[in-house]
Chain A
């Protein structure tokens, strides 16, 4: 029975089944190996490189100083992180050989310094204590020579025509494509199979947003989490900014089932089940509107008006059927930009499945992919993997698939190996390693080289081989430049077919009251980040839930089924069912339930094991994203932890919304005071956050966490209300629950000039600096928590336990040495990245000058894909922050308190209430 295939208890592959029967000696428990791995971490090699010993009494200099390393100074390397096939260009900060933080590559047009939370958090994977370092055969550690011996006979078989299949995720790496082609040249029946669970095969093809004045979206979420978020959000922000200059207004009309980040920014949003989108699209395209509801009719009317006006782009969701999608996307007069991302020639996943079923495959190489977990529920991948043939699983840590593979190859982390690929805009990036991998780790390209020939060239040689022809001569110089800059020349191939479209399966059919929407998770994506504790604790943009997945249902359905947040329900689709806690999602279309992938892991990714439910079981090969199903209350309660418990602004206007061209009034706190003012210092650091550009993506939160060593506290502590994020993104709903306005507001320390917290502290642990920072001196803090009590914004965070010393997944080696690690019993909060201010100040002093505008960039500011966060010296009238504060939309949060916050907000612009520049 296929549906239950996924639910079997995982067992170690029985010895003796494979072609070469190994000795039956049992290996260590999987759980135990993870603990052991703490000591065996591949970073052990790097620890020896660190400049200073941990014990304070000892000073241990290098024997030979590595080139380019100055103890105490950071080095920066451009590289990239491939997320679902698309490379995110990053700039890594490396200290004493330890990669510490990531930021977007400022020089790369696809990033412009910004990055999404997945990318920013990916650095933690490098330090994952669960990483595997040994080659294993049937779970037993074997020497590398065994593996190489095995390959000798295998190569002979492949050369003779045996089927060699390589299963990978989506990849735009030209080196991978070249190596596959090379394999195919040598072995007659070699092929690559692509399995990317988050997307219909091949998507995304490239940026979707064009230069339109109005965007109408049917289920598309260009601003949502995923590999294209940074690029799309950047484009969207550019359009928005450009329109602000002129009289034009950009508008966004969204019809979608579950509220997405795109929907949250819509001027007009219509909640509609996904199976309703076709009818709506037909109506917009001129079809009958008779059977539509009033709400739907007004959306259709608005969309038609926009279409008549022109400069409209119409987007369709990736998961819609091809036919419908093409029809929708042809409606506007602004076409979708041409596809730019090349995923290479691949065999379809279902072809591989039938080959496996038939036992035809000689060797299956699973390269950084976990099909046992991520295959649809109607596929018993575990069984298929054992139908004869040899399975080689290469991954950074052992997971569900490893249990059914004879061979396990420890894969180097992407930041330990050379590779390449395309960024979201189609441009190429050569990604360089930031750290030296442990001796037995394989780079992905190295694995393929091993399949090819005896010697097995390294990653660097493979990648260089690819680029030898592509780079202008002389090769050495242009190679160095490409690596250094993180940008490789060359655009996308000219004749790209939109490969995505061929496999977007239709999802109609099935009986059931609910439309079960199966989506990648905003926190752990398809499950690959399940072991990443930063992402686990990152509140999901809308539901603000953390640490496990929930089933989202609409308020109307919740009322009908008498469900509350945290009630356990059984979501059933076909034969499969999962039990999930309910999260009531305002704005979700009634009749739809959203489940997210990536949880319910059975092995691997330490933190994730056994957490949440496995939504892959609800999938079928034919219907991976939408199924018909039911939701049944079980009467039980389940853990569901959120960081925000109240969802409305309670009649206030913390987030202000204005019509285009309007400003806000009396909203900057420049209030009079009985106290004589303090003479301002040389500089006045200040921040402005443009709520019109904020899309609630959480990139700022992750960037801040990695920059400032903010500890992760775990699910139980979050439940107690003790999360430590220095910057949070408040999300408010206003209006009716069925279709509320959704607004975001990043809130962090406002650095009030008349700070109440400073008055409260009895030991002067929080005081003001000369340049206007509200300082928190950890080593002076005794933990009275008065400052927290007095803070009207509640942005202060307290170390109730020794959070920084608790979690091995966030090791000391990862920490930013520029920021003090806080002890138990100490208050902490946003410092405006004082370490960056100090660094800039020191640089400026050494050069006998002042700090320049733009020289200090806070971590949150750098990460923001829309540039919503502006920071600088407000004392200079020409600075960006001073100008932002002079904007008509500028206001201070809780200005009436008279605390004179240094952080101001710019009101959000919405043209929801009628279109001013309409035909009228």
Chain B
């Protein structure tokens, strides 16, 4: 009988089997771990979305020092932080930079009663019920999820916003708690003190309960 396979066939077969036994599971594991710890590549993190109006948080929140709640008024009281209506922009910009070209869409919006369509940067799935007010009330810094917006010309997502990200904090909020008074300070996480969960808010008697599914899903 003649040889069916060449000498190199064995090398190829072994390579193939190794791949099957080793590389495929390894690749799956890598995939899984990118899900656990999303990278810039696998998620929307650090992607600066172009917006209809080149609004700069660095300028407004950083250089001018306008507080978050000036525009995101319901962050303290409601589930949603709220996008400012055109009116809010024009409250100032009817006085200053009245002719600026960049602000033309804003003026048009008010003129034509057409809302501005912003591109969403922070978007949770519909089955997740995130409530801003309860986090603000507990003294969770805005920056702990949104990053230091005073450094961002265009707003971008800095945290993965995955369930694990939420759970990490719900189980051990210490790193993110700055107290109610310092919540809006964009740089607080760099400089500020952290509070224990009991110091930050008087009514969390059982921090372990915070990872019940119904905290976020209804």
Q: Do chains A and B touch in the complex (CB under 8 A)?
A: yes
Q: Could you give, for residues 839-858 of chain A, a 1 whenever the CB lies within 8 Å of some chain B CB and a 0 otherwise?
A: 00010111011100000000
Q: Given the complex of chains A and B, what is the CA–CA distance between A64 and B206 in angstroms? A: 42
- Given known contacts A681-B209, A769-B213, A779-B125, is B218 in contact with A61 (CB within 8 Å)? no
Q: Are B203 and A844 in contact (CB under 8 A)?
A: yes
Q: Which residues of B contact A775 (CB under 8 A)?
A: 212-214, 217
Q: Which residues of A contact B125 (CB under 8 A)?
A: 779
Q: Which residues of B contact A850 (CB under 8 A)?
A: 203
Q: Given the complex of chains A and B, what is the CA–CA distance between A780 and B127 in angstroms? A: 10
- Given known contacts A842-B134, A846-B133, is B118 in contact with A61 (CB within 8 Å)? yes
Interface set, chain B 101-149, CB cutoff 8 A to A: 109-110, 113-120, 123, 125-127, 129, 131, 133-134, 137-138
A684 to chain B, nearest CB (A): 12
- Given known contacts A61-B85, A61-B116, A63-B113, is B206 in contact with A770 (CB within 8 Å)? yes
Q: Which residues of B contact A53 (CB under 8 A)?
A: 117
In the complex, A682 has a CB within 8 A of chain B: yes
Q: Could you give, for residues 763-786 of chain A, a 1 whenever the CB lies within 8 Å of some chain B CB and a 0 otherwise?
A: 000010111010101111000000
Q: Given the complex of chains A and B, what is the CA–CA distance between A560 and B145 in angstroms? A: 74
Q: How many A-B residue pairs have CB under 8 A?
A: 132
In the complex, B99 has a CB within 8 A of chain A: no
Q: Which residues of A contact B67 (CB under 8 A)?
A: none
Central interface residue in A61, A70, A846, by most chain B CB within 10 Å: A61
Q: Given the complex of chains A and B, what is the CA–CA distance between A65 and B129 in angstroms? A: 23
Q: Which residues of A contact B79 (CB under 8 A)?
A: 72-73
In the complex, B80 has a CB within 8 A of chain A: yes
Question: Which among B86, B137, B208, B217 is the interface contact of A820 at CB below 8 angstroms?
Answer: B217
Closest chain B residue to A58, Cβ basis: B117
Q: Given the complex of chains A and B, what is the CA–CA distance between A834 and B131 in angstroms? A: 15
Q: Are B86 and A63 in contact (CB under 8 A)?
A: yes
Q: Are B201 and A65 in contact (CB under 8 A)?
A: no
Q: Which residues of B contact A846 (CB under 8 A)?
A: 133-134, 137
Q: Are B138 and A56 in contact (CB under 8 A)?
A: no
B147 to chain A, nearest CB (A): 18
B52 to chain A, nearest CB (A): 10
Q: Given the complex of chains A and B, what is the CA–CA distance between A771 and B206 in angstroms? A: 11
B50 to chain A, nearest CB (A): 12
- Given known contacts A770-B208, A838-B218, is B74 in contact with A70 (CB within 8 Å)? yes
Question: Which among B78, B85, B202, B205 is the interface contact of A64 at CB below 8 angstroms?
Answer: B85
Q: Are B117 and A820 in contact (CB under 8 A)?
A: no
Q: Which residues of B contact A773 (CB under 8 A)?
A: 214
In the complex, A294 has a CB within 8 A of chain B: no
Q: Could you give, for residues 11-23 of chain B, a 1 whenever the CB lies within 8 Å of some chain A CB and a 0 otherwise?
A: 0000000000000
Closest chain A residue to B83, Cβ basis: A61
Q: Which residues of A contact B84 (CB under 8 A)?
A: 61
Q: Are B201 and A63 in contact (CB under 8 A)?
A: no
Which of under 10, 10 to 19, 20 to 34, or 35 or more describes the interface residues of A? 35 or more
In the complex, A734 has a CB within 8 A of chain B: no
Q: Which residues of B contact A674 (CB under 8 A)?
A: none
A483 to chain B, nearest CB (A): 25
- Given known contacts A73-B79, A849-B203, is B133 in contact with A842 (CB within 8 Å)? yes
B193 to chain A, nearest CB (A): 20
A848 to chain B, nearest CB (A): 5
Q: Are B120 and A59 in contact (CB under 8 A)?
A: yes
Q: Given the complex of chains A and B, what is the CA–CA distance between A770 and B113 in angstroms? A: 47
Interface set, chain A 34-71, CB cutoff 8 A to B: 51, 53, 56-65, 70-71
- Given known contacts A72-B80, A838-B218, A848-B202, is B74 in contact with A64 (CB within 8 Å)? no
Q: Given the complex of chains A and B, what is the CA–CA distance between A835 and B218 in angstroms? A: 6
Closest chain B residue to A65, Cβ basis: B85
Q: Which residues of A contact B201 (CB under 8 A)?
A: 845, 848
Central interface residue in B119, B138, B214, B215, by most chain A CB within 10 Å: B214
Q: Which residues of B contact A72 (CB under 8 A)?
A: 74, 78-80, 82
In the complex, A831 has a CB within 8 A of chain B: yes
In the complex, B87 has a CB within 8 A of chain A: yes
Q: Given the complex of chains A and B, what is the CA–CA distance between A172 and B83 in angstroms? A: 45
B8 to chain A, nearest CB (A): 46
A805 to chain B, nearest CB (A): 13
Q: Given the complex of chains A and B, what is the CA–CA distance between A437 and B64 in angstroms? A: 44
Q: Given the complex of chains A and B, what is the CA–CA distance between A60 and B113 in angstroms? A: 12
Q: Given the complex of chains A and B, what is the CA–CA distance between A53 and B116 in angstroms? A: 11
Closest chain B residue to A850, Cβ basis: B203
Q: Given the complex of chains A and B, what is the CA–CA distance between A64 and B118 in angstroms? A: 16
Q: Are A777 and B213 in contact (CB under 8 A)?
A: yes
Q: Given the complex of chains A and B, what is the CA–CA distance between A775 and B212 in angstroms? A: 9
Q: Given the complex of chains A and B, what is the CA–CA distance between A767 and B215 in angstroms? A: 13
Q: Are B212 and A70 in contact (CB under 8 A)?
A: no
In the complex, A278 has a CB within 8 A of chain B: no
Q: Which residues of A contact B204 (CB under 8 A)?
A: 845
Q: Could you give, for residues 59-98 of chain A, a 1 whenever the CB lies within 8 Å of some chain B CB and a 0 otherwise?
A: 1111111000011110000000000000000000000000
Q: Given the complex of chains A and B, what is the CA–CA distance between A603 and B86 in angstroms? A: 46
In the complex, B34 has a CB within 8 A of chain A: no
In the complex, B70 has a CB within 8 A of chain A: no
Q: Are B218 and A848 in contact (CB under 8 A)?
A: no
In the complex, A837 has a CB within 8 A of chain B: yes
Q: Are B77 and A70 in contact (CB under 8 A)?
A: yes
Q: Given the complex of chains A and B, what is the CA–CA distance between A73 and B131 in angstroms? A: 11
Q: Are B82 and A819 in contact (CB under 8 A)?
A: no
Q: Given the complex of chains A and B, what is the CA–CA distance between A565 and B118 in angstroms? A: 59
Q: Are B212 and A64 in contact (CB under 8 A)?
A: no
A-B contact pairs, 22 of them (CB 8 A): A53-B117, A56-B123, A58-B119, A60-B115, A60-B118, A61-B82, A61-B84, A62-B87, A65-B85, A70-B82, A71-B78, A72-B79, A73-B79, A681-B206, A682-B206, A770-B208, A770-B209, A771-B212, A777-B213, A842-B134, A845-B203, A846-B133
* A-B pairs, 7 with minimum CB distance: A61-B83, A72-B80, A770-B209, A769-B212, A62-B85, A72-B79, A779-B127
Given contacts A60-B118, A842-B134, 8 further A-B contacts (CB under 8 A): A58-B120, A60-B83, A63-B87, A65-B85, A72-B79, A777-B213, A831-B214, A845-B203
